[in-house]
Amino acid sequence: MSESQNSILLALRKIIQEVSSKKSFEDAINTLVDLIRDATNADCCSLYLLSSRKSILKLAATEGLQKDSIGKATLQIGEGLVGLVAQKQELINLANAPDHPNFKYLPDVGEDEYQSFLGVPVINQGELLGVLVIQCKENRVFGEQEETLLITLSAQIASIISITRTIKENEDFRVSRYKGKTGSGSIAIAQAVVWKPPVTFETIQIMYSDEKDIQSELFHQTIFQLQMEMDRANLYLQENSHSKASSGYMSGYGIMLDDPTFEDEVDNEIFENGYVAASAIKVVTMRRIKAAENDGYKEKIRDMRDFASILITRLVHLAPKETELSSPVVLVVQSMPAALVAEMTKDKIAGFICIDSATSSHTAILARDLGIPAVIGVNIDINDVDGRTIIVDGQNAEVLIDPSSSLIDEYMQLIAASKKQNDLFNAGKYEKAVTQDNKGICIQLNAGLNHDDDDLPEQTDGIGLYRTEISFMLCDSLPSEDQQVGWYRKLLSQFKGIPVCMRTLDVGGDKSLSYLPIEENNPALGWRGVRVCIDQPNILKTQLRAMLIANKDFGNLEIMIPMVSRLEEVVIVKRLLNEAIYEIEEETGAKIPSPRFGVMIEVPCVAFMLDELASECDFFSIGSNDLISYLFAADRANPKVSKLFDAFNPAAVRCFKYLIDRANSLQRPIAVCGEIAGSPIGCMLLMSLGYTRLSMNYSQISMVKYIVKNINLQDLQSVGKQAMALNSSVKIKQLYIEYAKSKGLYSVIDTLSLGKNL
């Protein structure tokens, strides 16, 4: 044995013995970096560990860097030299580290004077745990002896780190975690404040009063007060939400406030039957609820109950005093009227949790529009959370109560990393989406309301999916033709010169209208989409006329129909469209431009009808959410089967490939407008299969553009060919993760969604 080999063994033995003797993990890793620095004659030794969510490398121990940066200095996978070691999972040895293109300067860490760098990955049973690094002030390549020592030690300590992390994860797992029905927004961390209305619709007792004039005056003053509050709420929404149509959220309440028959009925109960104002409101509302129940108007019933509760609360002067909040909180409520959400201001409400899963759909839409992290339909004890620290993870519809400090730290770093990434993405949001090999990708917007960003058309190639049903859902009754013309004209004008693809009314399933109740045992396979419109031709005809009239001065309208399963459905809608064009031309004497007409591919049988459908339409659009759900007979909202909803399943991948190839052969453009189009790995999958038209939510556009500009389409399509030959979703997904790593895009992949099947 050579002298150098013997010295390595002695150093190893000493380090392992010393580290193993320490009682705490912190002492062990601090001893490790101290002894390695001495054994290698390095100026600095540091250990970075991967967070439990496997997204961030955090400085865990160091001798040579600033001690106060421990636990604070972080790097994402692929970021900096440390991140590069983690990404490649192989040793990197550099004499002049600052000259390397991947070098990342971390301020306040104190590594300015270090030149040479040797980093090795810490891996246990194929799983990356962290990176071990030594650095020197002089420019030199570390020798074989130092490399051998670090590689051997990284293997030795990997098992210790793995065991310790498992213990920590178990501690974090004991944090109370609750899954909600739906979520929106990003992440909020704050103290919980439980709000319970001091008086509710149910608890109001029937009481009488002889002071009828006073009771009537109180009632009308309260109506006036609430009208003023609704006006202020609408103004706040217009200034703070992403949508010009946000005032529509209050339309249900506004209609009730402006309903003279409601006031007349309440006055009648006060003067004829002697009820106090609050009791009269309850009696009238109960009568209206009973009538609505007979008609099956569930959503309308919730709105009426919400409205009455708010009115009664104001009547007895017990409105929630938001101004008393000194710092942002997570608001926890049993049920959440949309009007209460509208009163929230972002500087006081960090996030909110609504326990009632049957809360008004207006509420969920409004929270999403305001950008407040929210979880709705979560089974927690409302009496046991006040004052406790809560994490609201709107992205994953998850609530964490009393998280550990390390878990809070990780979420805080995720928030910071997300902001940092968004800044990077937004720097190129006005640029066209063009690949490194100069291939253009059409990036369009999925929308449900009119966005108020005046420069939005400059960021997109148009609207690939306009969900017309959202505006219908915000109305208390069927919208008129003129009302719809106003909606559509505003949107077509804003996007003048670029396509706006409007989907005809798509209700049924999980989307209901209070004035068009649909009660079915199996709504996902029932009366929904185009089936409803064909059975209600007057509703469809009115909508088509409104679209055509709105488009008269712009000519950028496209129309597509949802949930098609038969050729006859397309023929019927086209006949109604042609009738509408003829009628409007007869009425106005003006030529009406005929819009491009498309069919959504959501029902699997349509894949075998493309030839016939191509003769009736100008383009196809894949609604991937429903298509995947129907392919695997799996509801992604059902935790028992949600894992079956898998866009990377070989069957789904081959289906996507078949559809693009068939559409190309038929010379019909085809787009994807489901969630997969805005997913980091999902968009790469689609582009690799040949898709060049992607439509997504606004928050995803700049991110997908960034990915497009950093990939080579020809290379990516070679990856697609490999994916077609694989037999498992795990292998297929990993193929795209490896490609992302090779292009420096691994840090872009949202690790919170790596476990998801999009």
Query: Mean pLDDT throughout 31-39?
Result: 91
State the total domains in the chain: 4
Pairing of strands 116-124, 74-76: unpaired
Least trusted range by pLDDT, from 34-43, 179-188, 275-284, 572-581? 179-188
Least trusted range by pLDDT, from 2-6, 269-273, 724-728? 2-6
- Per-residue pLDDT for 231 more than 70? no
Between 625 and 441, where is the model more confident?
441
Say if 427 falls within a structural domain. no
Q: Which segments within 587-705 are labelled E, that is strand? A: 596-601, 619-622, 670-672, 693-696
Q: Which letter does DSSP use for residue 249 in this model?
A: G
On whether both 452 and 577 belong to a single domain, the answer is yes
Give the other-Cβ count within 10 Å of 540's Cβ: 22
Highest mean pLDDT (candidates 42-51, 231-240, 702-711, 743-752): 702-711
- Structure confidence at residue 51 as a pLDDT band (50, 70, 90): confident
Say if 426 falls within a structural domain. no
On whether both 192 and 202 belong to a single domain, the answer is no
On whether both 613 and 748 belong to a single domain, the answer is yes
Identify the active-site residue in 44, 136, 673, 683: 673
| Contact indicator for 155, 375 with CB cutoff of 8 Å | no
Between 535 and 54, where is the model more confident?
535
Map tokens 């064909």 to a residue.
534
Torsion sign, CA atoms 503, 508, 511, 512: positive
pLDDT at 557: 98
Exposed, middle or buried by CB within 10 Å (0-12, 13-18, 19+), for 272?
Answer: exposed
- Per-residue pLDDT for 212 more than 70? yes
pLDDT at 419: 82
Say if 28 falls within a structural domain. yes
Say if 501 falls within a structural domain. yes
- Structure confidence at residue 623 as a pLDDT band (50, 70, 90): very high
Beta bridge partners of 182: 376
In angstroms, what CA-CA distances link 177 with 45, 172, 190, 390? 37, 10, 15, 10
High-pLDDT (> 70) share of the chain, %: 83
- Structure confidence at residue 548 as a pLDDT band (50, 70, 90): very high
Using DSSP's 3-state secondary structure scheme, residue 365 falls into helix
Exposed, middle or buried by CB within 10 Å (0-12, 13-18, 19+), for 330?
Answer: buried
Residue 748: which H helix or E strand, with range? Answer: none
Q: What distance separates the 2 farthest-apart alpha carbons in the chain?
A: 108
Mean pLDDT of the chain: 84
Give the other-Cβ count within 10 Å of 610's Cβ: 20
What is the rounded CA–CA span in Å between residue 671 and residue 617? 14
| Contact indicator for 244, 238 with CB cutoff of 8 Å | yes
Query: pLDDT (tens digit, 9 = 90+) per residue, 743-758?
Result: 988 778 754 444 455 6
On whether both 44 and 147 belong to a single domain, the answer is yes
Beta bridge partners of 465: 446
What is the rounded CA–CA span in Å between residue 561 and residue 597? 8
The two three-digit tokens of residue 741, written as one number:
């790593």
Using DSSP's 3-state secondary structure scheme, residue 607 falls into helix
pLDDT at 183: 81
Between 641 and 646, where is the model more confident?
646
Q: Tell me which of 319, 339, 355 is where a domain ends.
A: 319
CATH code, 348: 3.50.30.10
CA nearest neighbour of 170 among 366, 328, 354, 406: 406
The two three-digit tokens of residue 524, written as one number:
């996902």
Between 706 and 20, where is the model more confident?
706
On whether both 746 and 623 belong to a single domain, the answer is yes
- Per-residue pLDDT for 306 more than 50? yes
pLDDT at 112: 85
> What amino acid is encoded at 465 in this protein?
L
On whether both 133 and 244 belong to a single domain, the answer is no
High-pLDDT (> 90) share of the chain, %: 42
Between 743 and 455, where is the model more confident?
743
- Per-residue pLDDT for 492 more than 80? yes
Beta bridge partners of 476: none
What is the per-residue DSSP string for 563-575? S---HHHHHHHHH
pLDDT at 344: 55
What is the rounded CA–CA span in Å between residue 602 and residue 508? 14
| Contact indicator for 560, 616 with CB cutoff of 8 Å | no
pLDDT at 473: 78
pLDDT at 348: 76
- Per-residue pLDDT for 355 more than 70? yes
- Per-residue pLDDT for 404 more than 60? yes
- Per-residue pLDDT for 304 more than 60? yes
| Contact indicator for 197, 390 with CB cutoff of 8 Å | no
Torsion sign, CA atoms 419, 425, 428, 430: negative
Query: Mean pLDDT throughout 518-522?
Result: 69
What is the rounded CA–CA span in Å between residue 222 and residue 228? 10
Query: Mean pLDDT throughout 54-83?
Result: 86
Query: Mean pLDDT throughout 80-107?
Result: 90
- Structure confidence at residue 296 as a pLDDT band (50, 70, 90): low
On whether both 152 and 214 belong to a single domain, the answer is no
CATH code, 53: 3.30.450.40
pLDDT at 318: 43
Say if 58 falls within a structural domain. yes
Between 670 and 411, where is the model more confident?
670
Q: Tell me which of 319, 351, 367 is where a domain ends.
A: 319
Between 418 and 82, where is the model more confident?
82
Exposed, middle or buried by CB within 10 Å (0-12, 13-18, 19+), for 240?
Answer: middle
CA nearest neighbour of 256 among 221, 306, 202: 306
Using DSSP's 3-state secondary structure scheme, residue 67 falls into helix
209: Cβ contacts below 8 Å, ≥ 6 apart: 215, 274, 275, 276
Query: Mean pLDDT throughout 583-592?
Result: 94
pLDDT at 249: 46
Residue 505: which H helix or E strand, with range? Answer: none
Query: Mean pLDDT throughout 624-634?
Result: 93
**Residue 673 among the catalytic residues:** yes
What is the rounded CA–CA span in Å between residue 144 and residue 136? 16
CA nearest neighbour of 699 among 466, 369, 374: 369
| Contact indicator for 279, 207 with CB cutoff of 8 Å | yes
Domain extent, residue 16, equals 3-173
CATH code, 518: 3.20.20.60
Using DSSP's 3-state secondary structure scheme, residue 134 falls into strand
Between 555 and 74, where is the model more confident?
555
Say if 421 falls within a structural domain. no
- Structure confidence at residue 321 as a pLDDT band (50, 70, 90): very low
pTM above 0.75, yes or no: no
pLDDT at 62: 95
Query: pLDDT (tens digit, 9 = 90+) per residue, 715-731?
Result: 999 999 999 999 999 89
What is the rounded CA–CA span in Å between residue 400 and residue 391? 5
- Per-residue pLDDT for 343 more than 70? no
Say if 428 falls within a structural domain. no
Residue 515: which H helix or E strand, with range? Answer: none
- Per-residue pLDDT for 340 more than 80? no
Q: Tell me which of 319, 344, 367 is where a domain ends.
A: 319
179: Cβ contacts below 8 Å, ≥ 6 apart: 378, 397, 398, 639
In angstroms, what CA-CA distances link 612 with 504, 507, 609, 657, 661? 21, 26, 6, 19, 16
On whether both 495 and 575 belong to a single domain, the answer is yes
In angstroms, what CA-CA distances link 255 with 176, 285, 501? 42, 14, 30
Torsion of CA 570, 575, 576, 581, to 10 degrees: 130
Identify the active-site residue in 44, 136, 362, 617: 362
Query: pLDDT (tens digit, 9 = 90+) per residue, 359-388?
Result: 545 555 556 656 678 888 888 888 888 889
pLDDT at 752: 40
| Contact indicator for 718, 739 with CB cutoff of 8 Å | no
Query: Mean pLDDT throughout 192-219?
Result: 81
pLDDT at 258: 62
On whether both 574 and 473 belong to a single domain, the answer is yes
Beta bridge partners of 45: 63, 134
387: Cβ contacts below 8 Å, ≥ 6 apart: 191, 192, 193
| Contact indicator for 149, 33 with CB cutoff of 8 Å | no
On whether both 535 and 567 belong to a single domain, the answer is yes
On whether both 511 and 617 belong to a single domain, the answer is yes
> What amino acid is encoded at 263 in this protein?
E
Query: pLDDT (tens digit, 9 = 90+) per residue, 127-168?
Result: 888 999 999 999 989 988 889 889 888 888 887 777 666 545
Between 36 and 755, where is the model more confident?
36
What is the rounded CA–CA span in Å between residue 669 and residue 341? 41
Helices (H) and strands (E) in the chain, counts: 25, 22
Map tokens 């569930």 to a residue.
298
On whether both 192 and 205 belong to a single domain, the answer is no
Q: What is the 3-state secondary structure (H, E, C) of 411-457?
A: HHHHHHHHHHHHHHHHCCCCCCCECCCCCECEEEEEECCCECCCCHH
Query: Mean pLDDT throughout 287-306?
Result: 73
pLDDT at 244: 46
| Contact indicator for 441, 435 with CB cutoff of 8 Å | yes
- Per-residue pLDDT for 523 more than 60? yes
Runs of H (alpha helix) within 251-297:
251-257, 260-273, 277-295
Beta bridge partners of 118: 93, 134
Pairing of strands 127-136, 176-179: unpaired
What is the rounded CA–CA span in Å between residue 215 and residue 460? 56
CATH code, 275: 1.10.274.10
| Contact indicator for 380, 178 with CB cutoff of 8 Å | yes
Length of the chain in terms of residues written: 758
pLDDT at 322: 44
- Per-residue pLDDT for 94 more than 90? yes
| Contact indicator for 655, 631 with CB cutoff of 8 Å | yes
Say if 471 falls within a structural domain. yes
